[in-house]
Structure 1
């Protein structure tokens, strides 16, 4: 029986490269269902990042490449292009270089996507990982279970943010390809992808912690343009226009996976 793969995509640039060993440690601790394995597609955002120096050279599941500097969304899409080279990968999982998977995260994603053909993507509860090693959670997570297609969009329209964390995404590869990968924005491209997936298919929320989301001064979300100003307004506008355009060709508001 041939192995089935979940492909993890990781963009890396700058100081985050030194945190790759912690991401790797969280990955090798994952226990996957029988017949499943993972591949880790690390995409250096520009030359000379040096990811290989921070990771073991004898793990064949790790694949490192680089592309011209284009930001993390472009790097993720370039990593996506390297998935499924052997025709085995079904699911794409996000793992940023500075984050850590929680125990059981991959197994839960695989279980939901293999047992629920109408579900196209999953997210999970995330905890902020603070510099002192402590963690902080959030109120207002959805209940465990199905997120009907269009529900994330409805929440986003009211709040200009999603109620689930795009850094925890795992999705069917063909749906990500149908959307062209991540939106090529300086930030929020993963939110654009999440809302696109929400337009195409039902999702699933795991109420168990799936990710430790590291907070540090060098992350994109700390940039002064991230949450206000003309750039933020432009990002929100193009994301909204993208989803509205998708919904004109999928008038039911999603659920293109019907089992």
Structure 2
């Protein structure tokens, strides 16, 4: 893998295709450290001309399509084309804030004991206004198990936004990618990451989270308590299984001794 490349991975379906142009501009505007570059892996959840025609022309973009299976499946399929040592998640209807990739990479490159970062997100409304969350953690490390404990104690609400994740690619591959769930697939990966590695929360906003009538979360059919419970149960079972393995942790003792 290219150690000076960050792969932005995006799952997209036809209704959100019109937003790809703004997502692209937010990536293109990023200022990276000298010698670094980005790759954008776009994976359609399905096969349509609508999405294909909306993909910008740029040699740094890798586009793929496949049978529909949800955003988690699409992102995991996109991993086959990821060339960077670091992965940045970006939903197709969201945008990166200026400087977010540089901030993510600064943490991950200076701290070998940190496996992933998340950052503050701002809700972006159709009129252009934004609103933040007033209960974000402080800037700094998130120790192993911390995110999981918060999730369990707060009605399965994650402590940080999984849609702002930046992570070492090797960790995502080792954990098998995103969970094959109809929803909460990104939370499931976040909980697994926090079980095996330390994270870091960046208080400066790193994501504009678009609010619009067609977003998947707002159009999802009624989900009964049984499905919600099943999603939470399988995510927790994954965490417990990783805990039971005991010895599998990131990083190795050698890497831990070098700093972070």
Query: TM-score, with normalisation over the residues of structure 1?
Result: 0.92
Return closer, same or farther for 1:117/1:225 CA change in 2, 3 Å cut-off.
farther
Answer whether contact 1:192 1:239 (CA < 8 A) is retained: yes
Give the match for residue 221 of structure 1: 217
Match of 1:40 in 2: 40
How much is the aligned-residue C-alpha RMSD, in angstroms? 1.7
Instruction: Give the aligned partner of residue 146 of structure 1.
Output: 141
Residue 119 (str. 1) matches residue 114 (str. 2): yes
CA–CA distance in structure 2, aligned partners of residues 17 and 45 of structure 1: 11
Corresponding position of 1:188: 184
Does the CA contact (< 8 Å) of 1:51 and 1:64 recur in 2? no
For residues 20-62 of structure 1, the C-alpha deviation after alignment (integer angstroms, 9 at most, x for no partner) is 00100101000000111000000011111533422432x1101
1:36-75 pair list within 5 angstroms = 36-57=36-57, 59-75=58-74
User: Which consecutive segments of 4 or more residues in structure 1 shift more than 4 A?
Assistant: 254-258
Indicate the residue corresponding to 2:7 in structure 1.
7
Aligned residue runs from structure 1 range 107-256, under 5 A: 107-159=102-154, 160-222=156-218, 223-225=220-222, 229-250=225-246, 256=251
Gaps of 5+ in 1: none
Determine helix, strand or coil for the equivalent of 1:67: coil
Q: Residues of 2 paired with 1:71 and 1:35: CA distance?
A: 35
CA contact (8 A) 1:42 1:64 kept: yes
Matched positions, count: 251
What is the CA–CA distance in structure 2 between the aligned matches of 1:3 and 1:114, rounded to whole Å?
Answer: 10
**Rounded Cα–Cα distance in structure 1 between residues aligned with 2:37 and 2:51:** 22
Q: Which runs of 5+ in 2 are unaligned?
A: 256-260
- 3-state DSSP class of the match of 1:81? helix
User: Following superposition of structure 1 onto structure 2, how do residues 79-90 of structure 1 map, counting pairs within 5 Å?
Assistant: 79-84=78-83, 89-90=84-85
* Deviates most, 124-133 or 113-122: 124-133
Conserved 8 A contact 1:201-1:257: no
Separation in 2 of the partners of 1:242 and 1:66?
Answer: 28
